[in-house]
Amino acid sequence: MSNSANTSPTAIASIVLWVIVVAALLYGVVQTAIDASALFTA
């Protein structure tokens, strides 16, 4: 991304939002995978 449209405050906020949603999804997937592992290890 080299032009000003993609370095605007909105674009930067969108990048921050990407980090938030990916982190949240990873949290959810990892926690659920830990619960799901009981099916195979319990």
Partner 1 sequence: MTTILDHDRTVAPANYNRWLIPPSALAVHLSIGQVYAFSVFRNPLVDRFDTSLTAVGVIFSISIVMLGLSAAFGGKWVERNGPRKAMFVSGVFWCSGFAVGALGVATGQLWVVYFGYGVLGGLGLGIGYISPVSTLLKWFPDRPGMATGIAIMGFGGGALIASPLTSELLDLFAEAPEDAIAQTFLVLGAFYFVVMMLGAFTVRVPPEGWTPENYTADENGQATAGAKSVRVETAVRRRQFWLLWVVLLCNVTAGIGILEQASPMVQEFFDDVGPAEAAGFVGFLSLCNMLGRIVWSSASDSIGRRRTYMGYLGLGGLLYLLIAVAGTSSVVMFVAVTGVILSFYGGGFATIPAYLKDLFGTYNVGAIHGRLLTAWSLAGVAGPLIINGIADFQIAAGREGPALYELSLYVMVAVMAAGFLANMLVRPLSEEDFEEDPASEDASGEPSQDGSR
CB 24 within 8 A of CB 30: no
Q: Print the binding letters for residues 1-40 with partner 1: x by CB under 8 A, - otherwise.
A: x-x-xx-x-xx-xxxxxx-xx--xx-xxx-xxx-xxxxxx
CB 40 within 8 A of CB 33: no
CB 1 within 8 A of CB 11: yes
Instruction: Write down the least CB distance from residue 5 to partner 1, Å.
Output: 4
Name the residues that contact partner 1, by CB under 8 A: 1, 3, 5-6, 8, 10-11, 13-18, 20-21, 24-25, 27-29, 31-33, 35-40, 42
